Structure 1
Protein backbone atom coordinates (compact mmCIF):
# COMPACT_ATOMS: atom_id res chain seq x y z
CA UNK A 1 0.00 0.00 0.00
CA UNK A 2 1.28 3.45 -0.90
CA UNK A 3 2.62 5.70 1.86
CA UNK A 4 1.17 8.79 0.15
CA UNK A 5 -1.62 10.55 2.02
CA UNK A 6 -3.89 10.54 -1.03
CA UNK A 7 -3.81 9.56 -4.70
CA UNK A 8 -4.05 12.02 -7.58
CA UNK A 9 -6.69 11.35 -10.20
CA UNK A 10 -6.53 14.37 -12.52
CA UNK A 11 -4.61 12.62 -15.31
CA UNK A 12 -5.47 8.94 -15.42
CA UNK A 13 -3.43 6.66 -17.67
CA UNK A 14 -6.22 4.88 -19.53
CA UNK A 15 -5.97 2.21 -22.24
CA UNK A 16 -7.50 2.50 -25.70
CA UNK A 17 -11.12 3.65 -25.78
CA UNK A 18 -13.62 1.09 -27.17
CA UNK A 19 -15.15 2.07 -30.54
CA UNK A 20 -18.74 1.32 -29.54
CA UNK A 21 -18.92 2.74 -26.01
CA UNK A 22 -17.04 5.02 -23.63
CA UNK A 23 -14.42 3.74 -21.24
CA UNK A 24 -16.41 3.41 -18.01
CA UNK A 25 -15.23 4.37 -14.53
CA UNK A 26 -17.28 3.76 -11.37
CA UNK A 27 -16.60 5.84 -8.27
CA UNK A 28 -18.18 4.96 -4.92
CA UNK A 29 -17.64 5.69 -1.25
CA UNK A 30 -18.56 3.01 1.27
CA UNK A 31 -18.25 2.00 4.90
CA UNK A 32 -15.97 -0.74 6.21
CA UNK A 33 -18.93 -3.14 5.95
CA UNK A 34 -19.62 -2.17 2.33
CA UNK A 35 -22.64 0.09 2.81
CA UNK A 36 -23.02 3.14 0.56
CA UNK A 37 -25.78 5.11 2.30
CA UNK A 38 -26.44 6.57 5.75
CA UNK A 39 -29.96 7.86 6.40
CA UNK A 40 -30.74 7.47 2.71
CA UNK A 41 -27.75 9.30 1.17
CA UNK A 42 -24.00 8.90 0.85
CA UNK A 43 -23.35 11.93 3.04
CA UNK A 44 -21.39 11.06 6.16
CA UNK A 45 -19.36 8.25 4.60
CA UNK A 46 -16.56 10.24 2.98
CA UNK A 47 -14.35 13.14 4.02
CA UNK A 48 -13.56 16.38 2.22
CA UNK A 49 -10.56 14.60 0.73
CA UNK A 50 -12.88 12.00 -0.80
CA UNK A 51 -14.97 14.81 -2.27
CA UNK A 52 -11.85 16.35 -3.80
CA UNK A 53 -10.92 13.01 -5.37
CA UNK A 54 -14.43 12.84 -6.86
CA UNK A 55 -13.83 16.23 -8.48
CA UNK A 56 -10.45 15.08 -9.78
CA UNK A 57 -12.00 12.02 -11.39
CA UNK A 58 -14.52 14.28 -13.13
CA UNK A 59 -11.63 16.06 -14.86
CA UNK A 60 -11.15 12.89 -16.95
CA UNK A 61 -14.82 12.40 -17.81
CA UNK A 62 -16.81 13.49 -20.82
CA UNK A 63 -20.02 12.40 -19.10
CA UNK A 64 -20.85 12.08 -15.39
CA UNK A 65 -23.86 9.82 -14.82
CA UNK A 66 -26.23 8.95 -12.00
CA UNK A 67 -29.32 6.82 -11.70
CA UNK A 68 -32.69 8.43 -11.07
CA UNK A 69 -32.72 7.19 -7.48
CA UNK A 70 -29.50 9.07 -6.71
CA UNK A 71 -30.90 12.21 -8.33
CA UNK A 72 -34.05 11.99 -6.24
CA UNK A 73 -32.22 11.20 -2.99
CA UNK A 74 -29.40 13.71 -3.00
CA UNK A 75 -29.41 15.64 -6.25
CA UNK A 76 -26.59 15.53 -8.75
CA UNK A 77 -24.62 17.69 -11.13
CA UNK A 78 -21.43 17.11 -13.12
CA UNK A 79 -19.82 20.37 -12.01
CA UNK A 80 -16.09 20.30 -11.32
CA UNK A 81 -16.33 22.97 -8.64
CA UNK A 82 -12.68 24.08 -8.54
CA UNK A 83 -11.12 26.70 -10.84
CA UNK A 84 -7.77 24.89 -11.05
CA UNK A 85 -9.46 21.68 -12.17
CA UNK A 86 -11.66 23.55 -14.63
CA UNK A 87 -8.50 25.04 -16.10
CA UNK A 88 -7.04 21.56 -16.64
CA UNK A 89 -10.10 20.68 -18.69
CA UNK A 90 -10.22 23.87 -20.74
CA UNK A 91 -6.48 23.71 -21.47
CA UNK A 92 -7.11 20.22 -22.86
CA UNK A 93 -9.85 21.59 -25.13
CA UNK A 94 -12.73 20.25 -23.06
CA UNK A 95 -15.75 22.18 -21.75
CA UNK A 96 -15.49 23.47 -18.18
CA UNK A 97 -17.83 20.77 -16.91
CA UNK A 98 -18.63 17.29 -18.22
CA UNK A 99 -22.04 16.47 -19.62
CA UNK A 100 -24.47 15.32 -16.94
CA UNK A 101 -26.54 12.19 -17.56
CA UNK A 102 -29.33 10.39 -15.77
CA UNK A 103 -31.33 7.28 -16.65
CA UNK A 104 -34.91 6.59 -15.57
CA UNK A 105 -37.34 3.75 -16.15
CA UNK A 106 -40.34 5.75 -14.92
CA UNK A 107 -39.66 9.36 -15.92
CA UNK A 108 -40.53 10.39 -12.37
CA UNK A 109 -37.78 12.96 -11.92
CA UNK A 110 -37.43 16.09 -9.73
CA UNK A 111 -37.43 18.67 -12.52
CA UNK A 112 -36.67 21.54 -10.15
CA UNK A 113 -33.20 20.19 -9.32
CA UNK A 114 -29.97 21.85 -10.50
CA UNK A 115 -29.48 19.01 -12.97
CA UNK A 116 -32.39 20.44 -14.98
CA UNK A 117 -32.14 24.16 -14.19
CA UNK A 118 -28.42 24.99 -14.38
CA UNK A 119 -26.99 26.63 -17.47
CA UNK A 120 -23.29 25.92 -16.98
CA UNK A 121 -23.34 22.31 -18.18
CA UNK A 122 -25.07 20.19 -20.79
CA UNK A 123 -27.19 17.23 -19.74
CA UNK A 124 -28.93 14.24 -21.28
CA UNK A 125 -31.80 12.18 -19.88
CA UNK A 126 -32.17 8.55 -20.95
CA UNK A 127 -35.73 7.28 -20.63
CA UNK A 128 -37.17 3.81 -21.00
CA UNK A 129 -39.52 3.28 -23.92
CA UNK A 130 -42.34 2.63 -21.43
CA UNK A 131 -42.21 6.11 -19.86
CA UNK A 132 -45.63 7.79 -20.31
CA UNK A 133 -45.73 10.49 -22.98
CA UNK A 134 -46.72 13.24 -20.55
CA UNK A 135 -43.69 12.56 -18.37
CA UNK A 136 -41.37 12.47 -21.36
CA UNK A 137 -42.77 15.80 -22.58
CA UNK A 138 -42.34 17.31 -19.12
CA UNK A 139 -38.66 16.36 -19.12
CA UNK A 140 -38.22 17.69 -22.65
CA UNK A 141 -39.78 20.99 -21.56
CA UNK A 142 -36.77 21.59 -19.28
CA UNK A 143 -34.61 21.96 -22.39
CA UNK A 144 -32.46 18.95 -21.62
CA UNK A 145 -31.72 16.43 -24.35
CA UNK A 146 -33.98 13.39 -24.02
CA UNK A 147 -33.07 10.06 -25.60
CA UNK A 148 -35.60 7.22 -25.48
CA UNK A 149 -33.95 3.82 -25.18
CA UNK A 150 -35.20 0.73 -27.02
CA UNK A 151 -36.74 -2.07 -24.93
CA UNK A 152 -34.13 -4.52 -26.21
CA UNK A 153 -30.64 -4.08 -24.75
CA UNK A 154 -31.19 -0.52 -23.49
CA UNK A 155 -27.89 -0.17 -21.62
CA UNK A 156 -25.76 -1.01 -24.64
CA UNK A 157 -27.93 1.33 -26.73
CA UNK A 158 -27.32 4.11 -24.22
CA UNK A 159 -23.56 3.55 -24.33
CA UNK A 160 -23.56 3.58 -28.15
CA UNK A 161 -25.43 6.88 -28.11
CA UNK A 162 -22.89 8.36 -25.70
CA UNK A 163 -19.94 7.24 -27.83
CA UNK A 164 -21.26 7.79 -31.32
CA UNK A 165 -23.68 10.70 -30.95
CA UNK A 166 -22.18 12.62 -28.03
CA UNK A 167 -18.56 11.75 -28.78
CA UNK A 168 -17.90 10.65 -25.20
CA UNK A 169 -14.68 8.75 -24.59
CA UNK A 170 -14.86 8.47 -20.79
CA UNK A 171 -18.01 7.91 -18.73
CA UNK A 172 -17.91 8.31 -14.95
CA UNK A 173 -20.65 6.58 -12.95
CA UNK A 174 -21.28 7.99 -9.49
CA UNK A 175 -24.10 5.65 -8.52
CA UNK A 176 -26.39 4.41 -7.65
CA UNK A 177 -25.95 0.72 -6.98
CA UNK A 178 -28.63 -0.39 -9.46
CA UNK A 179 -27.01 1.53 -12.30
CA UNK A 180 -23.63 0.05 -11.37
CA UNK A 181 -25.17 -3.42 -11.55
CA UNK A 182 -26.74 -2.77 -14.94
CA UNK A 183 -23.45 -1.75 -16.53
CA UNK A 184 -21.56 -4.58 -14.87
CA UNK A 185 -24.24 -6.91 -16.21
CA UNK A 186 -23.35 -6.06 -19.81
CA UNK A 187 -19.61 -6.12 -19.18
CA UNK A 188 -19.24 -2.38 -19.53
CA UNK A 189 -17.37 -1.35 -16.37
CA UNK A 190 -13.64 -0.92 -16.93
CA UNK A 191 -12.44 0.54 -13.63
CA UNK A 192 -13.83 0.75 -10.10
CA UNK A 193 -12.68 3.47 -7.70
CA UNK A 194 -13.60 2.93 -4.05
CA UNK A 195 -13.11 5.09 -0.99
CA UNK A 196 -13.52 3.08 2.21
CA UNK A 197 -14.46 5.31 5.12
CA UNK A 198 -13.59 4.25 8.69
CA UNK A 199 -17.19 3.74 9.77
CA UNK A 200 -19.59 0.80 10.14
CA UNK A 201 -23.23 1.26 9.15
CA UNK A 202 -24.86 -2.17 9.44
CA UNK A 203 -28.43 -2.99 8.49
CA UNK A 204 -29.82 -5.97 6.61
CA UNK A 205 -31.33 -3.90 3.79
CA UNK A 206 -28.80 -1.06 3.59
CA UNK A 207 -27.56 -0.59 0.02
CA UNK A 208 -24.15 -1.80 -1.11
CA UNK A 209 -22.14 -0.52 -4.09
CA UNK A 210 -23.74 -2.99 -6.52
CA UNK A 211 -27.38 -4.07 -6.30
CA UNK A 212 -29.37 -6.17 -8.73
CA UNK A 213 -32.03 -8.79 -9.19
CA UNK A 214 -29.74 -11.63 -8.17
CA UNK A 215 -26.26 -12.29 -6.83
CA UNK A 216 -23.63 -13.72 -9.14
CA UNK A 217 -22.64 -17.35 -8.79
CA UNK A 218 -19.05 -18.38 -8.07
CA UNK A 219 -18.44 -18.92 -11.79
CA UNK A 220 -19.89 -15.51 -12.70
CA UNK A 221 -17.93 -13.32 -10.31
CA UNK A 222 -16.62 -10.09 -11.81
CA UNK A 223 -12.90 -10.15 -11.10
CA UNK A 224 -10.65 -7.12 -10.85
CA UNK A 225 -6.96 -6.29 -10.58
CA UNK A 226 -5.80 -3.77 -7.98
CA UNK A 227 -4.03 -0.81 -9.60
CA UNK A 228 -3.45 1.30 -6.50
CA UNK A 229 -4.18 1.44 -2.77
CA UNK A 230 -3.52 4.52 -0.65
CA UNK A 231 -4.16 4.92 3.08
CA UNK A 232 -4.84 8.39 4.43
CA UNK A 233 -3.81 8.49 8.10
CA UNK A 234 -5.44 11.89 8.50
CA UNK A 235 -8.94 10.68 7.62
CA UNK A 236 -8.59 6.93 8.18
CA UNK A 237 -9.80 6.35 4.61
CA UNK A 238 -8.39 3.92 2.07
CA UNK A 239 -8.54 4.81 -1.63
CA UNK A 240 -8.63 1.84 -4.01
CA UNK A 241 -8.47 1.66 -7.79
CA UNK A 242 -9.32 -1.56 -9.61
CA UNK A 243 -9.36 -2.49 -13.29
CA UNK A 244 -11.83 -5.14 -14.42
Structure 2
Protein backbone atom coordinates (compact mmCIF):
# COMPACT_ATOMS: atom_id res chain seq x y z
CA UNK A 1 0.00 0.00 0.00
CA UNK A 2 1.50 3.33 -1.07
CA UNK A 3 1.77 6.29 1.32
CA UNK A 4 -0.75 8.20 -0.77
CA UNK A 5 -3.27 5.39 -0.21
CA UNK A 6 -3.10 5.67 3.59
CA UNK A 7 -5.51 8.17 5.08
CA UNK A 8 -5.97 9.60 8.54
CA UNK A 9 -9.61 10.04 9.52
CA UNK A 10 -10.50 12.45 12.33
CA UNK A 11 -12.66 10.50 14.77
CA UNK A 12 -15.07 12.34 17.04
CA UNK A 13 -15.53 9.64 19.67
CA UNK A 14 -14.82 11.30 23.04
CA UNK A 15 -14.07 14.52 21.12
CA UNK A 16 -15.29 17.95 22.18
CA UNK A 17 -15.96 18.79 18.52
CA UNK A 18 -13.64 21.83 18.50
CA UNK A 19 -13.38 24.07 15.46
CA UNK A 20 -9.62 24.60 15.89
CA UNK A 21 -9.02 20.84 15.49
CA UNK A 22 -11.16 20.80 12.37
CA UNK A 23 -9.12 23.68 10.96
CA UNK A 24 -5.85 21.95 11.86
CA UNK A 25 -7.06 18.72 10.25
CA UNK A 26 -7.79 20.45 6.97
CA UNK A 27 -4.37 22.05 7.01
CA UNK A 28 -2.81 18.59 7.36
CA UNK A 29 -4.88 17.16 4.53
CA UNK A 30 -7.22 15.22 6.82
CA UNK A 31 -10.52 15.67 5.04
CA UNK A 32 -12.70 12.88 6.46
CA UNK A 33 -14.56 12.95 9.77
CA UNK A 34 -15.86 9.83 11.50
CA UNK A 35 -18.72 10.23 13.96
CA UNK A 36 -21.92 8.46 15.06
CA UNK A 37 -25.46 9.32 16.01
CA UNK A 38 -24.79 8.47 19.67
CA UNK A 39 -21.53 10.40 20.08
CA UNK A 40 -21.52 13.46 22.36
CA UNK A 41 -24.63 12.18 24.14
CA UNK A 42 -26.53 11.89 20.82
CA UNK A 43 -25.71 15.49 19.88
CA UNK A 44 -22.70 14.95 17.61
CA UNK A 45 -24.32 15.73 14.25
CA UNK A 46 -26.03 18.92 15.31
CA UNK A 47 -22.98 20.11 17.27
CA UNK A 48 -20.64 19.34 14.38
CA UNK A 49 -22.83 21.34 12.00
CA UNK A 50 -22.92 24.32 14.37
CA UNK A 51 -19.20 24.29 15.21
CA UNK A 52 -17.87 23.59 11.73
CA UNK A 53 -20.10 26.03 9.89
CA UNK A 54 -18.56 26.86 6.53
CA UNK A 55 -15.82 24.25 7.08
CA UNK A 56 -18.25 21.34 6.95
CA UNK A 57 -18.53 21.11 3.12
CA UNK A 58 -14.75 20.69 2.98
CA UNK A 59 -15.01 17.35 4.80
CA UNK A 60 -16.32 13.95 3.86
CA UNK A 61 -18.57 12.78 6.69
CA UNK A 62 -18.78 9.14 7.77
CA UNK A 63 -21.29 8.39 10.49
CA UNK A 64 -23.00 5.44 12.12
CA UNK A 65 -26.53 4.51 13.19
CA UNK A 66 -27.78 1.74 15.45
CA UNK A 67 -27.55 3.12 18.98
CA UNK A 68 -30.53 5.00 20.34
CA UNK A 69 -31.25 6.70 23.66
CA UNK A 70 -32.94 3.49 24.86
CA UNK A 71 -30.29 1.09 23.54
CA UNK A 72 -29.19 -0.68 20.38
CA UNK A 73 -31.62 -1.66 17.65
CA UNK A 74 -31.55 -3.11 14.15
CA UNK A 75 -35.21 -2.29 13.53
CA UNK A 76 -35.47 -1.25 9.87
CA UNK A 77 -37.98 1.48 10.72
CA UNK A 78 -35.77 2.96 13.42
CA UNK A 79 -32.66 2.79 11.24
CA UNK A 80 -34.47 4.52 8.39
CA UNK A 81 -35.62 7.28 10.72
CA UNK A 82 -32.10 7.58 12.14
CA UNK A 83 -30.61 8.17 8.69
CA UNK A 84 -33.20 10.86 7.97
CA UNK A 85 -32.35 12.50 11.30
CA UNK A 86 -28.64 12.50 10.42
CA UNK A 87 -29.36 14.45 7.26
CA UNK A 88 -31.56 16.94 9.11
CA UNK A 89 -29.06 17.48 11.96
CA UNK A 90 -26.02 17.81 9.71
CA UNK A 91 -27.83 19.99 7.21
CA UNK A 92 -26.40 17.83 4.41
CA UNK A 93 -26.22 14.23 3.30
CA UNK A 94 -23.35 12.28 4.89
CA UNK A 95 -20.91 10.65 2.52
CA UNK A 96 -21.11 7.30 4.29
CA UNK A 97 -23.52 5.76 6.81
CA UNK A 98 -22.39 2.66 8.69
CA UNK A 99 -24.44 0.13 10.62
CA UNK A 100 -23.02 0.56 14.11
CA UNK A 101 -21.88 -2.61 15.90
CA UNK A 102 -24.67 -4.91 14.65
CA UNK A 103 -23.23 -7.69 16.81
CA UNK A 104 -24.54 -5.80 19.85
CA UNK A 105 -28.06 -7.01 19.01
CA UNK A 106 -26.99 -10.57 18.27
CA UNK A 107 -28.59 -10.65 14.82
CA UNK A 108 -29.33 -13.72 12.74
CA UNK A 109 -28.71 -13.61 9.00
CA UNK A 110 -32.20 -12.32 8.21
CA UNK A 111 -32.05 -9.46 10.72
CA UNK A 112 -28.63 -8.37 9.48
CA UNK A 113 -29.75 -8.51 5.87
CA UNK A 114 -32.82 -6.36 6.57
CA UNK A 115 -30.73 -3.78 8.43
CA UNK A 116 -28.20 -3.64 5.60
CA UNK A 117 -31.02 -3.24 3.09
CA UNK A 118 -32.16 -0.06 4.86
CA UNK A 119 -28.73 1.54 4.39
CA UNK A 120 -28.40 0.32 0.82
CA UNK A 121 -31.79 1.88 0.10
CA UNK A 122 -30.66 5.12 1.76
CA UNK A 123 -27.94 5.36 -0.89
CA UNK A 124 -30.53 4.86 -3.63
CA UNK A 125 -32.72 7.55 -2.08
CA UNK A 126 -29.84 10.02 -2.02
CA UNK A 127 -29.66 10.24 1.78
CA UNK A 128 -25.98 9.23 1.74
CA UNK A 129 -23.26 8.49 -0.77
CA UNK A 130 -22.32 4.99 0.41
CA UNK A 131 -23.04 2.57 3.22
CA UNK A 132 -21.25 -0.02 5.28
CA UNK A 133 -20.81 -1.82 8.59
CA UNK A 134 -18.75 -0.82 11.61
CA UNK A 135 -18.04 -3.64 14.05
CA UNK A 136 -16.14 -3.57 17.33
CA UNK A 137 -16.21 -7.37 17.62
CA UNK A 138 -16.65 -9.09 14.24
CA UNK A 139 -16.59 -12.62 15.65
CA UNK A 140 -20.40 -12.98 16.10
CA UNK A 141 -20.89 -11.88 12.47
CA UNK A 142 -18.84 -14.70 10.94
CA UNK A 143 -21.05 -16.88 8.78
CA UNK A 144 -23.82 -14.28 8.42
CA UNK A 145 -24.55 -13.15 4.89
CA UNK A 146 -24.79 -9.43 4.25
CA UNK A 147 -25.31 -7.26 1.23
CA UNK A 148 -21.91 -6.28 -0.10
CA UNK A 149 -20.98 -3.15 1.91
CA UNK A 150 -19.10 -0.23 0.43
CA UNK A 151 -17.13 0.10 3.67
CA UNK A 152 -16.20 -2.27 6.48
CA UNK A 153 -14.79 -0.61 9.61
CA UNK A 154 -12.99 -2.76 12.19
CA UNK A 155 -10.65 -2.32 15.11
CA UNK A 156 -7.00 -2.16 14.08
CA UNK A 157 -3.62 -2.02 15.76
CA UNK A 158 -1.37 -3.81 18.20
CA UNK A 159 -3.95 -4.12 20.98
CA UNK A 160 -6.43 -6.10 18.87
CA UNK A 161 -6.59 -9.78 19.80
CA UNK A 162 -5.70 -12.54 17.37
CA UNK A 163 -9.26 -13.86 17.19
CA UNK A 164 -10.67 -10.40 16.39
CA UNK A 165 -8.03 -9.82 13.71
CA UNK A 166 -8.76 -13.20 12.14
CA UNK A 167 -12.50 -12.53 12.23
CA UNK A 168 -12.08 -9.12 10.61
CA UNK A 169 -10.05 -10.65 7.79
CA UNK A 170 -12.67 -13.38 7.40
CA UNK A 171 -15.39 -10.77 6.96
CA UNK A 172 -13.33 -8.98 4.33
CA UNK A 173 -13.06 -12.25 2.42
CA UNK A 174 -16.74 -13.10 2.82
CA UNK A 175 -18.31 -9.69 2.25
CA UNK A 176 -15.78 -8.22 -0.22
CA UNK A 177 -16.22 -4.57 0.83
CA UNK A 178 -14.97 -1.91 -1.53
CA UNK A 179 -12.98 -0.23 1.28
CA UNK A 180 -11.73 -1.40 4.68
CA UNK A 181 -11.13 1.14 7.45
CA UNK A 182 -9.60 0.80 10.90
CA UNK A 183 -10.43 2.45 14.21
CA UNK A 184 -9.15 2.76 17.79
CA UNK A 185 -5.47 2.31 16.86
CA UNK A 186 -4.33 2.97 20.45
CA UNK A 187 -7.07 0.99 22.16
CA UNK A 188 -8.33 4.13 23.90
CA UNK A 189 -5.44 6.58 24.28
CA UNK A 190 -1.86 6.96 23.11
CA UNK A 191 -0.99 7.91 26.71
CA UNK A 192 -2.24 4.65 28.25
CA UNK A 193 0.44 2.90 30.36
CA UNK A 194 0.72 0.01 27.91
CA UNK A 195 2.47 2.29 25.42
CA UNK A 196 5.23 2.91 27.95
CA UNK A 197 5.93 -0.83 28.12
CA UNK A 198 6.35 -1.64 24.42
CA UNK A 199 8.22 -0.07 21.50
CA UNK A 200 6.21 -0.42 18.27
CA UNK A 201 9.20 0.75 16.23
CA UNK A 202 10.39 -2.87 16.05
CA UNK A 203 7.74 -3.33 13.33
CA UNK A 204 9.17 -0.61 11.08
CA UNK A 205 12.05 -0.76 8.60
CA UNK A 206 13.38 2.60 9.80
CA UNK A 207 14.10 3.79 13.33
CA UNK A 208 13.40 7.51 13.01
CA UNK A 209 9.69 7.31 13.83
CA UNK A 210 8.33 8.12 17.27
CA UNK A 211 6.70 5.26 19.19
CA UNK A 212 3.30 6.92 18.66
CA UNK A 213 3.90 7.17 14.93
CA UNK A 214 4.99 3.54 14.80
CA UNK A 215 1.93 2.28 16.66
CA UNK A 216 -0.31 4.29 14.35
CA UNK A 217 1.46 3.12 11.22
CA UNK A 218 1.18 -0.53 12.31
CA UNK A 219 -2.59 -0.03 12.69
CA UNK A 220 -2.79 0.16 8.89
CA UNK A 221 -1.44 -3.40 8.71
CA UNK A 222 -3.30 -5.13 11.56
CA UNK A 223 -5.48 -5.90 9.65
CA UNK A 224 -4.75 -4.36 6.25
CA UNK A 225 -6.78 -1.12 5.97
CA UNK A 226 -6.55 2.00 3.86
CA UNK A 227 -7.74 4.52 6.46
CA UNK A 228 -7.65 4.70 10.25
CA UNK A 229 -9.97 6.82 12.37
CA UNK A 230 -8.30 8.34 15.41
CA UNK A 231 -9.89 10.65 17.94
CA UNK A 232 -7.98 13.61 19.31
CA UNK A 233 -8.46 17.18 20.48
CA UNK A 234 -4.70 17.73 20.43
CA UNK A 235 -3.39 19.42 17.28
CA UNK A 236 0.21 18.37 17.99
CA UNK A 237 -0.85 14.73 18.33
CA UNK A 238 -2.66 14.91 14.99
CA UNK A 239 0.39 16.43 13.33
CA UNK A 240 2.59 13.68 14.77
CA UNK A 241 0.31 10.96 13.40
CA UNK A 242 0.15 12.47 9.92
CA UNK A 243 3.94 12.77 9.90
CA UNK A 244 4.42 9.05 10.37
CA UNK A 245 2.49 7.68 7.41
CA UNK A 246 5.53 7.39 5.15
CA UNK A 247 7.23 4.75 7.30
CA UNK A 248 7.24 1.21 5.93
CA UNK A 249 6.39 -1.97 7.81
CA UNK A 250 8.89 -4.76 8.43
CA UNK A 251 6.68 -7.52 7.07
CA UNK A 252 8.77 -10.31 8.58
CA UNK A 253 8.46 -8.81 12.07
CA UNK A 254 4.73 -8.39 11.58
CA UNK A 255 4.26 -11.97 10.39
CA UNK A 256 6.19 -13.25 13.38
CA UNK A 257 4.00 -11.17 15.67
CA UNK A 258 0.80 -12.60 14.13
CA UNK A 259 2.15 -16.12 14.60
CA UNK A 260 2.94 -15.43 18.26
CA UNK A 261 -0.53 -13.99 18.76
CA UNK A 262 -2.17 -17.11 17.38
CA UNK A 263 0.01 -19.39 19.49
CA UNK A 264 -0.85 -17.50 22.67
CA UNK A 265 -4.59 -17.27 21.94
- Asked whether the two chains share a fold, i.e. TM above 0.5, the reply is no
Judging by fraction of residues, say which structure has more helix. Answer: 2
Judging by fraction of residues, say which structure has more strand. Answer: 1
Higher relative contact order (CA 8 A, sep 6+): 1
TM-score where L is the length of structure 2? 0.37
TM-score where L is the length of structure 1? 0.39
